[in-house]
Structure 1
Amino acid sequence: MASDLVFYTNPQSRGRIVRWMLEEIGAPYETQVMEYASTMKGDAYRAINPMGKVPAIVHHGRVVTECAAICAYLADAFPEARLAPPIADRADYYRWLFFAAGPVEQAVTNKALHAEATPEQSRMLGYGSYDLAVDVLEQAVSRHDYIAGDRFSAADVYVGSQVGWGLQFGTLPKRDAFTAYVGRLMARDAYARANEKDDALANEAA
């Protein structure tokens, strides 16, 4: 019998974000590991994600791609996990989830590529400048224990993953607010389970 929830990933990818989210919701799911040079670019997977990228999920036959979208979708699809605030309290939840997926992602990527904009060109950039995006992110994670308030949410899965990787790979500065925020998230059981599963898959492929 086909699984109601199928997760397409590679342990050396952003799929780790979705793995963590799946462990947080606690619902059963099937994992399909995709290889970069073969199955990820094959016709069968491109029928799911024409970009040939992971992660993706198929839930009851419906495809969702893009990590932030998957996190938001799963929070709504599995409300019993309580990973999305009530509708009336979602302003910060949506704001910072998509701030991390848009301006922060773009700023960090361009910085890593050494793509420097002139002052005139910076007006075209949604993030303005790398320093501005980082400063605003720091302010956001400093306001509360979690990004949308005093309760953990799906937004923390995405934002926390971005901040954690930024600290690990040096694409974000090591600031006390970032370190404290990530430390709170890494103490979660679901985070540990997700890393254990992906690390095991990575070791199998090594």
Structure 2
Amino acid sequence: MKFYTNPLSRGQMARWALHEVGAQYEEVLLEYDGSMKSAEYLAINPMGKVPCIEHEGNIVTEAAAICLYLADAFPKAGLGPKNLAERAAMLRWSFFAAGPLEQAVINRALGFEVGDDAMKQRQAGYGTYDGCVEVLSQHFAAHDYVCGDRFTIADVYVGSHVDWGMTFGSLPERPSFLAYAERLRARSAYKEARSIDAKLGAQ
């Protein structure tokens, strides 16, 4: 397993996932506007972004895809779905975080607000920032984790959005988010992965 990353990137999500499934990996650190855009790396990921993993001839980019892939590649970790209902929840909320939620958060950070214009809400796809936040908040008010009462790989991805969102102020500190984040931060794999990236980021 090769893991291409930068400690100040979404690679933190992938590293946490790697530690959760117990994968052994070779770390390849890349620099923004430098090695990340090199011809060698662009041949692996033409987007010139991280994270990216290379495993048994498979190249997987995009943090959500990496998380879901790792659950399938390391089934003994028990972080994949146990039934169709769990698979549905994992896919639903992983794609919700990767699509509507991230779009709403980024657009808001860039100063673009959909507002009350119904046409803009349809064009944006996610509706409104407040609507996305409310939907996610309600889910974690009723469930401890993405799939209910059991931690899965989807919690690495969705949970990272919640954790980072509150840390950087892009998501509000709602009670359901705070309680969810506390459960995630208590995990040993979370602590291990964050510690590695914190040390690398400080260098």
TM-score by length of 2: 0.96
1:126 aligns to what?
A: 125
Percentage of pairs with the same residue: 56
2:3 aligns to what?
A: 7
How far residue 106 of structure 1 moved from its aligned partner, in angstroms, is: 0.4
Q: Equivalents in 1 of 2:66, 2:143: separation in Å?
A: 24
1:149 aligns to what?
A: 148
Q: Equivalents in 2 of 1:52, 1:27: separation in Å?
A: 24
Q: Does residue 94 of the first structure (1) align with residue 78 of the second (2)? A: no
Contact 1:96 1:155 in 2 (8 A): yes
How far residue 43 of structure 1 moved from its aligned partner, in angstroms, is: 0.4
Q: Does residue 173 of the first structure (1) align with residue 172 of the second (2)? A: yes
Partner amino acid for 1:51?
M
Runs ≥4 residues deviating over 3 A: none
Q: Equivalents in 2 of 1:140, 1:31: separation in Å?
A: 35
Any idea what SS the aligned residue of 1:8 has?
A: strand
Q: Equivalents in 1 of 2:190, 2:36: separation in Å?
A: 25
Any idea what SS the aligned residue of 2:107 has?
A: helix
How far residue 157 of structure 1 moved from its aligned partner, in angstroms, is: 0.2
How far residue 120 of structure 1 moved from its aligned partner, in angstroms, is: 1.7
Written as runs of structure 1 = structure 2, the 5 A alignment for 1:60-99 is: 60-89=56-85, 90-99=87-96
How far residue 58 of structure 1 moved from its aligned partner, in angstroms, is: 0.4
Q: Equivalents in 1 of 2:130, 2:202: separation in Å?
A: 36
How far residue 25 of structure 1 moved from its aligned partner, in angstroms, is: 0.5
In the comparison of the two structures, how many residue pairs are matched?
200
TM-score by length of 1: 0.94
Q: CA RMSD in A?
A: 0.9
Q: Equivalents in 2 of 1:111, 1:56: separation in Å?
A: 27
Any idea what SS the aligned residue of 2:124 has?
A: coil
How far residue 195 of structure 1 moved from its aligned partner, in angstroms, is: 0.7
Q: Does residue 19 of the first structure (1) align with residue 15 of the second (2)? A: yes
How far residue 193 of structure 1 moved from its aligned partner, in angstroms, is: 0.3
Gaps in structure 1 of 5+ consecutive residues: none
Any idea what SS the aligned residue of 1:64 has?
A: strand
Deviations 1:1-26 (A, max 9, x none): xxxx1000000000000000000011
Contact 1:55 1:67 in 2 (8 A): yes
Deviations 1:53-112 (A, max 9, x none): 000000012100000000000000100001111242311111111111110000000010
2:55 aligns to what?
A: 59
Contact 1:96 1:140 in 2 (8 A): no
How far residue 37 of structure 1 moved from its aligned partner, in angstroms, is: 2.2
Any idea what SS the aligned residue of 2:160 has?
A: helix
